[in-house]
């Protein structure tokens, strides 16, 4: 289990618990559940890398306590 912090720098900052083998899509759903935005409107970024839905967190080497940038499309 790991906990990730997602922050759009507009006032929403959530910490999400998830598994390492969850996909980014799952994470987005979780974030959606916590923040109330629709999952398909969420874009997760780290610097200039947009994370793709079908890839797992482990494969992106997202570890516990990492910060992801939260954007909306």
Which parts of this chain interact with another protein (CB under 8 A)?
Answer: 1, 3, 11-19, 22, 26, 29-30, 33-36, 38, 64
Least spacing, CB of residue 48 vs another protein, in Å: 25
Cα 5 from Cα 71, distance rounded (Å)? 13
- Residue (2 or 43) nearer to another protein, CB: 2
| Closest approach of another protein to the CB of residue 28, in Å | 10
Three-class SS state of 19: coil
């Amino acid at each position: 289990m790991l906990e990730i912090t997602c922050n759009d720098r507009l006032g929403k900052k959530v910490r999400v618990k998830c598994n390492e083998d969850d996909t980014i899509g799952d994470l987005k759903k979780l974030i959606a559940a916590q923040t109330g935005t629709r999952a398909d409107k969420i874009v997760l970024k780290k610097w200039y890398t947009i994370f793709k839905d079908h890839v797992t967190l482990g494969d992106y080497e997202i570890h516990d306590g990492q910060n992801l940038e939260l954007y909306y499309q």
